[in-house]
Amino acid sequence: MRVVLAVTAGLTLVGSSTLLAAPALDDVARPASPTETASRDIQWRDDASCDLATVDALAARHPEVRQFVVLATSTFNDTAGTAFTAARRANEEWVCQTEQQIARFGRTGTRPLVERRSGDGTTPAGVFPLGEVTAWDGERVSVFGNRPDPGVRPGVGYRDVRPEDCWGATPNTPEYQRLFARPGCPGPEDEWLLRFGDVYSHAAVIGANLDPVSGDEPGEPPYAAAIFLHRHSYTETGATRPTSGCVSLPLLDLATTIRLLDPQLTPHFAIGPTSWLRTTA
C-alpha cells in the first residue's frame, strides 16, 4: 500500500507498507503526537472500500462539500446500516478515508428532517454540516465527550463535559437545541450529558435543525434536538441497541471518524437510505 498523506500539519505520516495500527481502547482518549509536517492533501486509505457511487451523487448536488460522513441504511425503517468517511483530494478525486463500518440508527428508523418531530425515535435524514453551538460559558462546541479529546483537528471545538452541561431537548422552550447550565438537567426531555457516561465518550454534533433552530419558540415544529454521532449502547448480552434518534458507532471507529473531521473540507453528514441519498438528499 502506498504512502498516504494527511490534510494538515500535525498528523503522523504512514509508512509505505502499513497504516497506523488501530489504537488500544485506553489510547482512544489521548491525542496523537505529531512527528512530521505533512503536505497539503487529505489522509486516506488506498486499501479501503466504500460506496463512492453514493458520494459522487451527493457531491453533484452539494459541490461545496469536500468531506462526507455517509450514514446509510437500506430503507427508512431500518435501525442498522453502515458508516464511512470519504473526502475529495487536492486533485479532485474522491477517496475512502475509512472502510464501511456498522452503524445503528433511531429505534424507528430514519425520516427526512422536516417530516420528523423530537421524540419520535427516528434519526433525521438529510445532508447536514458538522454542527457548532455556543455553550453556556461561551465555548464553541462541535464535539464533546465524557472522555478527553481523542485528537480533533484544529478548528474543531472539543468540549470536556462539565457537570452543569444540559442539552435542551424539550420542545417549544428557549433552551431547545442549546447547551445550557443546569446540573442534573431536570427538563422532561433535556439531556444531562454527564449522565450518558461512555455512550457520550465522544459525540460529534450533527447540524440537523441548527442555524436556525425550529422548536425553540411556541408553535414552531420541533424537528430535532440533541442529534449526535456517538458510541454504541449495548445490551447485557453485548448486542448493540438502536438509538433514540442519533447515529452510533463502535468506540474505535467513532474516534477515527472524529479525528478525520476537517473544517477546511466543509464536512457534512449524509444520513438516510442509500437510494434516497443518491437521488434526493
pLDDT in tens, 188-209: 899 999 999 999 999 999 999 9
pLDDT of residue 241 exceeding 60 = yes
**254 phi/psi in degrees, rounded to 5:** -60, -50
Dihedral, CA of residue 227, residue 230, residue 231 and residue 232, to nearest 10: 30
Residue 213 sits at the vertex; the CA angle it makes with 209 and 215, to the nearest 5 degrees, is 100
Is the model's pLDDT at 33 over the cut of 70? no
pLDDT category at 181 given cuts 50, 70, 90 is very high
Query: pLDDT-based confidence at 28, cuts 50/70/90?
Result: very low
pLDDT in tens, 55-103: 999 999 999 999 999 999 999 999 999 999 999 999 999 999 999 999 9
The two beta strands, 101-104 and 228-231, are unpaired
Residue 233: other Cβ atoms inside 10 A: 17
What is the reported pLDDT for 32?
41
Grid coordinates representing 261?
473531521
At residue 46, the pLDDT reads: 86
> Domain spans of the chain?
48-279
End-to-end CA distance of the chain: 34
pLDDT higher than threshold 70 for residue 18 = no
pLDDT of residue 45: 87
Mean pLDDT throughout 253-277? Answer: 98
